[in-house]
Amino acid sequence: MADCVFCQIIAGKIPARLLYQDDEVIAFPDINPAAPIHLLIVTKRHIPSLAHLSEDETPLVGHMIKIANQLAREEGIADSGYRLVINTGKDGGQVVPHLHMHLLGSRRLADEMG
C-alpha cells in the first residue's frame, strides 16, 4: 500500500529505528510515545486491522505477542510490567490502518482501559 505509513517504513522509505525484524513482523519505537517505552510491533503484510484478520492469520497475533514479550525482556520491563494494545477501527482509536500492537511500559499506566 503506497500511501500507508507502516508499509513505507517496511519498504525503508520512511526511516525508523528497527528493533526486531523477521518474515512476519517488524518492531520500532512509536514516534509519539505515550510512555517511556512505547514500541510498535507491526505485521509485514498490509492487514488493515484485527477485524480484517482471516482465520488462517490468527497465529500471527500469537507471534506478535511472543515478539512483544521478547522486546519487553530486552527493554528491561518484563518484571515491572507492561501493556499490549491493539486499537481496532474508529471507535477503538485506530489511526494507522495497518495491523500493529503497542508495547507500553516503564511507568505505572493509568487504570482505565482506554
**Contact between 28 and ligand 5GP per CB under 6 A:** yes
Q: Which residues are annotated as catalytic? A: 100
Residues 4, 24, 30, 109: which binds ligand 5GP (CB under 6 A)?
Answer: 30
Smallest distance from Zn ion to CB 2, Å: 9
Neighbour tally for 17: CB within 10 Å: 8
**Contact between 32 and ligand 5GP per CB under 6 A:** yes
Smallest distance from ligand 5GP to CB 31, Å: 3
The C-alpha atoms of residue 45 and residue 42 are separated, in whole angstroms, by: 9
